[in-house]
Amino acid sequence: MAFEEEPQPLKIYFIPYLAAGHMIPLVDIAMLFASHGHHTTIITTPSNAKTLPTTPNHHFRVHTFDFPSQEVGLPDGVENLTGSTDLESSWKIYQASVILRNNIEDFVEQNPPDCIVADFLYPWVEDLANKLHIPWLVFNGFSLFAICAMEALKAHPIVDAHPSGSFVIPNFPHHITINSAPPQFSKEFMDPLLTVALRSHGFIINSFAELDGEEYVNYYHKTIGHKAWHLGPASLTRRTNKEKAERGEKSVVSVHECLSWLNSNPPNSVLYISFGTLCYWSDKQLYEIASAIEASGYGFIWVVPEKKGNEEESEEEQEKWLPKGFEERNREKGIIIRGWAPQVLILDNPAVGAFITHCGWNSTVEAVCAGVSMITWPLHSEQYYNEKLITEVRGIGVEVGVAEWRISAYRENEKLVSKDVIEKAVRRLMDGGDEAERIRQCAQEYGKKARQAIQEGGSSHKNLTTLIEELKQLKASKSLQ
């Protein structure tokens, strides 16, 4: 990434939440400001700091505070939700983020910036910014479409859900039926955070305006009355293979070998399967996925949770989640990655023909950037909304057809999704035909639009320039007071 010098640099602090899906994109967005010559500082903890970009840029700094491991009862080094394996440890990470508040506040007050960009899970930043008379922007890693859906439901709670749990989003630009209703506690947790966010200088969105669409940019601006700044796709700030490979944790497989294997496969012949960083699977469900992949006959890269297939796992244990002999039979056909995969590089490879995804927003935008069509299998959080943007609104994917909003990422689904259902969705995209071709073309067009958005004159580039100008004016008017 090229770096500009800026005669009147802004000083901006970024406070990402301690979860890969929140931290990775916000750090990329901070890099974007740094590349325009503004002084950016990421405020985080030591283990998280190790996952940040190593590209030298004197405008990009990191300030760490020790993670309160002992106070919350977590082993040393577990400082991110990616390292948590159950609801209890994820709650401890959240507790730690609450404990860090005082240290962060003291630091920020003693070294005040011109602006703070903070995750919406830190609503207390509002008071801090007000005290310092500086603007504050929020981020949560969601699509604007999902935020709009949540706002619509805040204003008009669901009263007429179908017995299956599906419901129509009220007073919305499109007629959208969501397959499964959010659990009440999830709404109770999210709604107050979204309300605080409405008092900020705006929501930063890791996407580009064309993907959410003008309807939702206008809906958020006019109906909800708040500003959204589409500055992404964040992943496109990583230009070289090295920068892409370094995004997030360290890959557990050789990036070179993984890419060589992909390069040896014909275009659009490989399925990529990953459900993000927060996902528990029962052995039975993994078995169904494995059976579907094998029955489809396509090549695959399948990312499974780290615990699966580690050296201590006996053959007997392995047979519970993999059909007998699966790995030997598929040695040439595919790769199982047990742990962190170099996702952006995999998606970028022309051999990848479709992505079975949980519709986490980062994964979704990364697939869009690569022009890869998606097979959607949402699990929790805002993923059920993203599914509809992908399939019904933008036409760049097909649904597996799941309809069960998990109570937590660490709980298995009550209903098993069978091999046949998964295989059918895979074939819909991978076997070709008019529908698959239309979806693939549409996905590739959005890929082009994504790249245009960040170039000079593109929508995200213009938004970034406008936002920087606004922040400079706010800084200038403050210095006159």
275: alpha, beta or left, given left = phi > 0 and alpha = psi -120 to 50?
alpha
Residue from 119, 151, 212, 366 in contact with ligand UDP (CB under 6 A): 366
Of these residues, 28, 119, 212, 348, which one is catalytic? 119
How far, in Å, CA of 394 to CA of 392, rounded? Answer: 6
175 is catalytic: no
Nearest residue (CB) to ligand UDP, 118 versus 341: 341
Q: Which residues pair with 248 in a beta bridge?
A: none
Which positions ≥6 away from 432 have C-beta within 8 Å? none
Tell me the residue type at 282.
S
**Number of helices followed by number of strands (H, E) in the chain:** 21, 15
Q: Does 277 bind ligand UDP (CB under 6 A)?
A: yes
Q: Does 245 bind ligand UDP (CB under 6 A)?
A: no
DSSP assignments along 12-81, one per residue: EEEE--SSHHHHHHHHHHHHHHHHTT-EEEEEE-HHHHTTS--S--TTEEEEE----HHHHT--TT--SG
How far, in Å, CA of 53 to CA of 60, rounded? Answer: 9
106 is catalytic: no
Residue from 123, 353, 360, 397 in contact with ligand UDP (CB under 6 A): 360
Residue from 9, 21, 68, 334 in contact with ligand UDP (CB under 6 A): 21
Kindly identify the residues of this chain, within the stretch 386-425, that bind ligand UDP according to CB under 6 A.
none
Q: Does 346 bind ligand UDP (CB under 6 A)?
A: no
Nearest residue (CB) to ligand UDP, 40 versus 383: 383
Nearest residue (CB) to ligand UDP, 39 versus 142: 142
Site string for ligand UDP, 127-166 (x = CB under 6 A): --------------x-------------------------
Largest interatomic CA distance in the chain: 73
Residue from 271, 303, 335, 417 in contact with ligand UDP (CB under 6 A): 303
325: alpha, beta or left, given left = phi > 0 and alpha = psi -120 to 50?
left
Nearest residue (CB) to ligand UDP, 50 versus 472: 50
Q: Does 113 bind ligand UDP (CB under 6 A)?
A: no
Residue from 276, 299, 309, 334 in contact with ligand UDP (CB under 6 A): 276
DSSP assignments along 190-246, one per residue: HHHHHHHHTTSS-EEESS-HHHH-HHHHHIIIIII---EEE---GGGG--SHHHHHT
Pick the stretch among 83-91, 119-127, 355-363, 466-474 that binds ligand UDP (CB under 6 A). Answer: 355-363
Q: How many residues does the chain have?
A: 481
Binding stretches for ligand UDP (CB under 6 A): 20-21, 24, 141, 247-248, 274, 276-278, 303, 340-341, 343-344, 360-363, 366
Catalytic machinery residues: 22, 119
